Amino acid sequence: MATRLSVNVNKVAVLRNSRGGADPDVVRAARACLDAGAHGITVHPRPDARHVRADDVLALAALTHERGVEFNLEGNPFAPPRPGYPGFLGLCEQARPAQATLVPDTDAQLTSDHGFDFSGDLGALREHVAALRALGCRVSLFVDAGDPLVATAAAVGAHRVELYTGPFAQAFAAGEPQPAKACAATARQAQAAGLGVNAGHDLSQANLAGFLAAVPGVLEVSIGHALIGEALYAGIAATVGRYRALVDAA
């Protein structure tokens, strides 16, 4: 199966929120990405509404359902509901994303920077996965490259894992040899356990081809920060087109 490109539009919401109002329009940006060839849309709403909000999630759900493309909703299943944020499961109940990607982040984190710890009691995580599966969501768990317990994701009911590729991107930028070695090994372990493999965080035009060449069988990459930044110079349509060319070649 060819690697699919899901564009994360969180950064569009960051720009909008920095000024207030409705510009730039998150849904319009997502529509432009889909028109340019993106296979789907990703967002990661935080409970503090620092960028994408619950109303954005519902509007993007409507767009992706209308287009018949994947909507990937990311979030921490353990974050409690609060005003304006119904909790991750509550948001999934409303939006019915095709894929729910669970990430163990907190409000204090600037961005997602680590995967789940599979060494402790996983009963609560298993319950959240089961609840999402009951909604018809494909469930993916955010994992660290090099985690020897990655196969445990299958035991808690997940369909896929998403490799956290931040360390890979840093190693690639530093010119280190075989920067994707840990990602490739973890991908193989996950696949041997029957899990599909996604990837995301700090992937860019500069490193994506090398990553996909080194890591076999990646089903989906979720890319936002670099893609939106590159689009400031080249435009969304051209930038998404370049990423499509990279995943199609892989």
Catalytic residue among 39, 51, 159, 201: 201
Render 125-149 in DSSP notation, one character per residue.
HHHHHHHHHHTT-EEEEEEETT-TT
Positive or negative CA dihedral for 213, 217, 219, 225? negative
Q: How many CA atoms lie within 13 A of 7 on its CB side?
A: 33
230 is catalytic: no
Catalytic residue among 39, 44, 128, 159: 44
44 is catalytic: yes
Question: Using CB atoms within 10 A of its CB, is residue 43 exposed (0-12), middle (13-18) or buried (19+)?
Answer: buried
Catalytic residue among 39, 51, 70, 74: 74
Question: Using CB atoms within 10 A of its CB, is residue 115 exposed (0-12), middle (13-18) or buried (19+)?
Answer: buried
Nearest to 55 by CA among 19, 18, 25, 98: 25
Residue 214 CA to residue 188 CA, distance in Å, equals 11
Q: What is the CA 194 to chain-centroid distance, rounded?
A: 20
162 is catalytic: no
For residue 59, the one-letter residue type is A
Among all residues, which ones are annotated catalytic? 44, 74, 201
